[in-house]
Structure 1
Amino acid sequence: MDKTETDTRTVGLLADPGIAQSLANRVASRLETVLNEKYEDGTRWVIEVDPVSLPMNESGQVIVNKHVARLREKYGWEFVIYLTDVPQYERGQPVRSIINEAHGAATLVLPSMGVPRRRAVVRFFVQALHELAGGGKPPTRPTSLGRVLSVQVRIEDSADSGDHYDSIEGLRGRVLLVVGMILSNRPWRLVPRLSSALAGAAATGAFGVFYTSIWSMADYLSFRRLVLITVVSILVLTTWLLFHNRLWERPKGARRREKLLLYNIATVFTVALAAAAMYALLFIALLVGSLVVIDQAFLSFELDHEATMSEYLNLAWLAASLGTLGGAIGSSFDEVKSVQRATFSHREFERRNIEFGSFDAEEP
């Protein structure tokens, strides 16, 4: 065996399909660079990314340690780090990382990292690997502000499993978790799945653009009333999507009551953001359509005053609100399971029914 092979250390980075996989692919080369700069001892670090979902047990914990030996034997990985988008709990607290030096394995929980995703993944990955490689917990020198804002606490496992947990605690920790859950749900990916809703909204909105009574109404309504109509239309669409697609979460496992609250908050905001994004797309389309089709002189004649860009904006605004209400009915024709995949409980249900052999044959 030559020197290059002797000095090469390979890390298997497993990632749940979706945003976790996307982030893993984006940070893999950066991780190799950071590790090779950090360990200036001639060692060459290699990161191999494999998109896969590991099974969960009945308490909602991702199973990692029991599969590490098989993964290491099959792929030749020295360490295994799993990036998951499912929140994990230990002693009643959501955790950000789970590290087991004996197994050479770690789990990084994406939602607990909050908003700065790529940089956070790199930082927590390097910290976890530092511990797995025998370096112990890396020393931290937080600033005074950093100590005040910190929500992370180290927990040692009392079950003698060798696991170490970094939990996030308090109200700020829960807010951070909810924000991370919303991002992991990827609200922007839900919009294309609402094709029927978007089609219904576009048809209803187009009718409003070409109906002269809507022109007069949009011109008459105040700014506050238009804002109120917008909010109501988005709320109606959000509520319809939640109940028609049975998106209300009923999580299982540890901390069921807390999960019930956090999961449903994340789901409501996910759907609301998707509805708002659909509204924005509809508004832009109707504004362009009204500018192209409705002549300014004719609009001025119908309104009995000079029409400006403001009148076109109000017209598209009201038409988009009416169209969004029509989109709620159109959403009834969208595939329910496709919409449900944007929620945590559905993904947890699928993960609980995974058998390790179902992905054991895949190559990284």
Structure 2
Amino acid sequence: MESVRVGLVADPAAPTEIAQGMADLSPPGGHVAWDITVVSEPFTTGSDDLRTAMDRLRDQARDRDWDLVVGLTELPLHDGDGGHLLADTDPDRRTAVLSLPALGGLRVHAQARRAVRTLVSTMAEPGEQDEQRVVLPRVRGRWRLLVGMVLANRPWLLVPGLKSALVAALATGAVATINSTVWVLADSMSWWRLVIASLASVTLVVAWLVIDGGLWDRPEDDSPEARERSRLYNASTVLTLLTGVVICYVALYLVNLAWAFFVLSPDVMGGYIGASLGYGDLVVLAWFVASAATVGGGLGSGLESDEAIRAAAYSKREEDRRERLARDRQRT
């Protein structure tokens, strides 16, 4: 049976993991076998021009004697007119690029598998000579891409990167929960002030992480593409950090609530502040303490440097890719 040599070139980390799961990919109908080789290489590093990335992929195909090649990247692809791409295909050179975040972040492995099968099948067909682009819808597609970028950052893994802040916040909360002055303050707080306190505490911590970690991306030039890329990078960074900090906030609240129910009695608190209190007031107390402790613990998080925090920023990962590529070139 005739076989087609297919190369899958994937950015390091998650794209490589996804590509490795496609080593057994077969064509629809099974008339021609696919001989698939997976290579982990940051082929999009430092290339804002999609053509440059396609040229790198074609060089890989020529050097490795592949019939066609597909690149998998975690970076957003731009169409040059302010829109975003799911995939770009050059059947003439039998080269394609797939943007994984544009899949939306849900069931990425299955969606990427289907997309790669379609791309390879299209390029393997004789007579397909026109460039084919899969353009995302202007508004809905941008949100889909942004969600995909945030989920690709895996914000839940940010929690270990904030471990020292979380420990500090837990210690602060444990002490504040049994402080009589805090009881008085919590009893005086209305629900809308508690909501504002929660929002303010989370916002302050996110802002501090961005500033302290130098995570804010600035466009390299004044081109619309560079500005749009920076907006996407910064939006995904902020949303990733926001999700991670909210997870920490909820965990802190639950721990504080359990601690309050364990060590405090509403009757004792009520007798001290001269009010009739119930267990619902312990819920309010834990809420207030979580907001205060989040600020206290979060502002101390800048004392630690963790790769999980850097990984929340696409721009920092791009820097890491460039450094990795430079090291590889020095070795060769």
TM range (shorter): 0.7 to 0.9
The answer on whether the counterparts of 2:74 and 2:99 sit within 8 Å (CA) in structure 1 is yes
Aligned to 1:270: 240
State the 1:13 CA deviation. Answer: 3.0
Q: Which amino acid aligns with 1:111?
A: P
- How well do the aligned residues superpose, as a CA RMSD in angstroms? 3.3
Aligned to 1:291: 261
Distance in 2 between residues matched to 1:206 and 1:120, nearest whole Å: 45
The answer on whether the counterparts of 1:59 and 1:252 sit within 8 Å (CA) in structure 2 is no
Distance in 1 between residues matched to 2:127 and 2:158, nearest whole Å: 41
Matching of residue 168 in structure 1 with residue 136 in structure 2? yes
The answer on whether the counterparts of 1:251 and 1:260 sit within 8 Å (CA) in structure 2 is yes
Matching of residue 219 in structure 1 with residue 209 in structure 2? no
> What does 1:6-25 correspond to in 2, within 5 Å?
6-9=1-4, 11-25=6-20
Matching of residue 243 in structure 1 with residue 211 in structure 2? yes
Matching of residue 63 in structure 1 with residue 57 in structure 2? no
State the 1:84 CA deviation. Answer: 0.6
Q: Which amino acid aligns with 1:121?
A: A
**Partner secondary structure for residue 99 of structure 1:** strand
Aligned to 2:89: 99
Aligned to 1:311: 281
Question: In 2 relative to 1, CA 23–296 (structure 1 residues): closer, same or farther, beyond 3 Å?
Answer: farther
Distance in 1 between residues matched to 2:252 and 2:187, nearest whole Å: 19
Distance in 1 between residues matched to 2:278 and 2:231, nearest whole Å: 49
> What does 1:138-217 correspond to in 2, within 5 Å?
163-217=131-185
Q: Which amino acid aligns with 1:88?
A: L
State the 1:65 CA deviation. Answer: 3.5
Distance in 2 between residues matched to 1:136 and 1:184, nearest whole Å: 36
Aligned pairs, number: 326
TM, length-normalised to structure 1: 0.76
Aligned to 2:113: 122
Distance in 2 between residues matched to 1:287 and 1:135, nearest whole Å: 66
Aligned to 1:330: 300
**Partner secondary structure for residue 28 of structure 1:** coil
Distance in 1 between residues matched to 2:310 and 2:6, nearest whole Å: 33
Question: In 2 relative to 1, CA 356–226 (structure 1 residues): closer, same or farther, beyond 3 Å?
Answer: closer
State the 1:113 CA deviation. Answer: 2.2
State the 1:72 CA deviation. Answer: 6.5
Question: In 2 relative to 1, CA 318–184 (structure 1 residues): closer, same or farther, beyond 3 Å?
Answer: same
Structure 1 stretch displaced more, 340-349 or 316-325: 340-349
Q: Which amino acid aligns with 1:292?
A: F
Structure 1: give runs of 5+ residues left out of the alignment: 1-5, 138-155, 157-161
Question: In 2 relative to 1, CA 211–136 (structure 1 residues): closer, same or farther, beyond 3 Å?
Answer: farther
Aligned to 1:339: 309
Distance in 1 between residues matched to 2:46 and 2:157, nearest whole Å: 28
Distance in 2 between residues matched to 1:256 and 1:110, nearest whole Å: 20
Identity in percent: 28
Aligned to 1:151: none
Deviations for 1:236-256, whole angstroms, at most 9, x for unmatched residues? 111111111111111437611
Structure 2: give runs of 5+ residues left out of the alignment: none
The answer on whether the counterparts of 1:201 and 1:324 sit within 8 Å (CA) in structure 2 is yes
Question: In 2 relative to 1, CA 184–319 (structure 1 residues): closer, same or farther, beyond 3 Å?
Answer: same
State the 1:322 CA deviation. Answer: 0.6
